Amino acid sequence: MRNEETTRLRRVLSRRDLIVYGLVILTPTAPYPVIGVVQQASGGHATLCYLVAMVAMLFTAASYARMSIEFPAAGSTYTYVQRGLNEHAGFLAGWAILLDYLLIPLLSVVYAALTANRLLPAVPYMAWVVLFTLTITLANANGIKTTVRANTVLMAIMSASAILFAVFAVRMLMAQGGVAALWSPRAIYNADTFSLRALMLGAGISALSYIGFDAVTTLAEDSKDPARDVGYATVAVCLAQTAICAVTVYLATLVWPQYQSFPDADTAILDIGRRIGGEWMMGWITFVLLVAALASAMTGQAGASRLLLGMGRDGVLSRRVFGHLDEVSGTPVRAIWFMGAATLAGSLLAGFQLIVELLNFGAFAGFILVNCAVINHFHLRRNGLWRDLIAPLAGAVVCAYLWLSLSSAAKAAGFAWLAAGAVYLAILTRGFRLAPKQMEVG
């Protein structure tokens, strides 16, 4: 019989560590790559889009918070659905969100490598991929405190960038029109261009800036007081991210109100940066985008390794590989190195756009199931109305709407991934006759 203590993570993280971790994986610079796209998709209502996306994500964040208190384990989405619905649904939820966690570090490393290659084209793209993957993998394998210390430094750089952007934008606006130039209701709501359909489309894109908030709950077993801190940190991260994003896009709207005139919507933040601070500011934003990608890659890999640990510890994935903890560092090093290998392989096989779309597929699938787990676990057993039924149902409906709004290619690839998981589960459980935990993968 195995010793449970040998597969338990060390409780070393404070509430502050959890919040920093969550903000790093989301990144304070999250709206930078999508400002132009959201502005054009929503008819100039990017700020309102982020507020709408916040409401949608808060319902789901509240569900994660409740389940993290009830089940303070490293498996996060997998554990919550397993305990809140049933073990078969739990496996499929874990399989779906695993796609998300596999792709966060992959997407971030690919983006960082592409950015670095553009800055220094003499260095091959794959050389950057190998360098960045090894860097984040070694940092995570060394222990969660090493990851947290690196996160703190990266968070400081990204926060400085967000503040610097705001300062330069305010300075330019005040130079042109004084204090009055800092307030314009039309930068939030413009009746001439408003469309509910366009607003929801923009909100769906804005939701990208929140994908990954649930990774905070994967650190439940690393937390000193998970019942007190994990749920609080999950909701706090969503609120803080909204404040950062809303201020950034609001100021960007004031600086460049004619959103139709962006030279390139995908890189609009660089043009806005040049307008408020010249070439220097544009170069700084490019550097910060690189830093943000690396920060997201490192924290995403840490979260993914905890999800794999939860599934490996239950025996639904290889316990020898994924359920192992290193005695020295106290981290799931084999799962971490697996994630590093997957990132290297994925950078060669997958296109950037497909990675982005599949990231949303896995995230929203997991979010829907966690909201359903809250309804089943709390409402059907305790009959609460608002917290146990209305809030999680609203979260599930909104996430389902966003999920089904993805492109046909993303849905085809995503459902293929889920089908592969269902086949694996059927084999594992002998045609679903056994619970996944009753069958062990060595």
What's the average model confidence in pLDDT over 112-123? 80
Q: Residue 382: its pLDDT value, please?
A: 72
pLDDT tens, residue by residue, 143-202? 766 666 776 787 788 888 889 999 999 999 999 988 989 999 999 999 989 988 888 878
The residue type at 392: P
Give Cα 47 distance to the centre of its chain: 20
What's the average model confidence in pLDDT over 271-294? 86
pLDDT tens, residue by residue, 218-247? 777 778 887 788 888 888 998 999 999 999
Q: 345 Cβ partners below 8 Å, 6+ apart?
A: none
CB 355 within 8 A of CB 101: no
- Tell me if residue 74 falls in helix, strand or coil: coil
CB 105 within 8 A of CB 139: no
Q: Residue 73: its pLDDT value, please?
A: 67
Q: Residue 47: its pLDDT value, please?
A: 93
Query: Of the ranges 68-77, 237-246, 313-322, 352-361, which one carries the lowest mean pLDDT score?
Result: 352-361
**Residue 111 in this model has a pLDDT that exceeds 80:** no
Q: 55 Cβ partners below 8 Å, 6+ apart?
A: none
CA dihedral sign of residues 333, 313, 22, 277: positive
What's the average model confidence in pLDDT over 366-388? 84
**Residue 4 in this model has a pLDDT that exceeds 50:** no
* pLDDT-above-70 percentage for the chain: 91
Q: Residue 336: its pLDDT value, please?
A: 87
Q: Residue 437: its pLDDT value, please?
A: 58
Distance of alpha carbon 131 from alpha carbon 344, whole angstroms: 10
What are the C-alpha distances in Å from 289 to residues 28, 140, 157?
10, 21, 10
Q: Residue 145: its pLDDT value, please?
A: 67
Average pLDDT, the chain: 82
CB 357 within 8 A of CB 113: no
CB 147 within 8 A of CB 298: yes
**Residue 335 in this model has a pLDDT that exceeds 60:** yes
Task: Tally Cβ neighbours within 10 Å of residue 40.
Answer: 18
What are the C-alpha distances in Å from 232 to residues 9, 61, 332, 387?
20, 10, 25, 15
What are the C-alpha distances in Å from 86 to residues 83, 104, 373?
6, 27, 9
Q: Residue 354: its pLDDT value, please?
A: 63
Residue 333 is encoded by which pair of tokens? 């090093």
CB 334 within 8 A of CB 28: no
Residue 66 is encoded by which pair of tokens? 């409740």
* pLDDT-above-90 percentage for the chain: 12
Distance of alpha carbon 187 from alpha carbon 87, whole angstroms: 48
List own/partner pairs for 268-277 with CB under 8 A and 24 or more apart.
Answer: 268/35, 268/36, 268/37, 268/39, 269/31, 269/32, 269/33, 269/35, 269/36, 272/35, 273/165, 275/172, 276/165, 276/168, 276/169, 276/171, 276/172, 277/168
Cα-only R_g, the chain:
21
Q: Residue 439: its pLDDT value, please?
A: 43
Residue 207 is encoded by which pair of tokens? 């939701």
pLDDT tens, residue by residue, 21-47? 788 777 788 888 788 888 988 899 999
The domain ranges of the chain are: 7-438
Q: What's the CATH code, domain 7-438?
A: 1.20.1740.10
The residue type at 260: Q
Residue 89 is encoded by which pair of tokens? 């649904």
Task: Tally Cβ neighbours within 10 Å of residue 270.
Answer: 19
Q: 177 Cβ partners below 8 Å, 6+ apart?
A: none
CB 68 within 8 A of CB 316: no
pLDDT tens, residue by residue, 396-428? 998 888 787 777 777 888 899 899 988 988 887
CB 306 within 8 A of CB 76: yes
Instruction: State the pLDDT confidence band at 5, using cuts at 50, 70 and 90.
Output: very low
**Residue 7 in this model has a pLDDT that exceeds 70:** no
- Tell me if residue 303 falls in helix, strand or coil: helix
- Tell me if residue 402 falls in helix, strand or coil: helix
CB 282 within 8 A of CB 49: no
Task: Tally Cβ neighbours within 10 Å of residue 193.
Answer: 14
Instruction: State the pLDDT confidence band at 440, using cuts at 50, 70 and 90.
Output: very low
Distance of alpha carbon 383 from alpha carbon 381, whole angstroms: 6
Give Cα 309 distance to the centre of its chain: 19
Query: Of the ranges 24-28, 246-250, 302-306, 432-436, which one carries the lowest mean pLDDT score?
Result: 432-436
> Closest Cα partner for 35 from 261, 253, 360, 258?
253
Q: Residue 204: its pLDDT value, please?
A: 76
What's the average model confidence in pLDDT over 262-279? 85
Instruction: State the pLDDT confidence band at 66, using cuts at 50, 70 and 90.
Output: confident
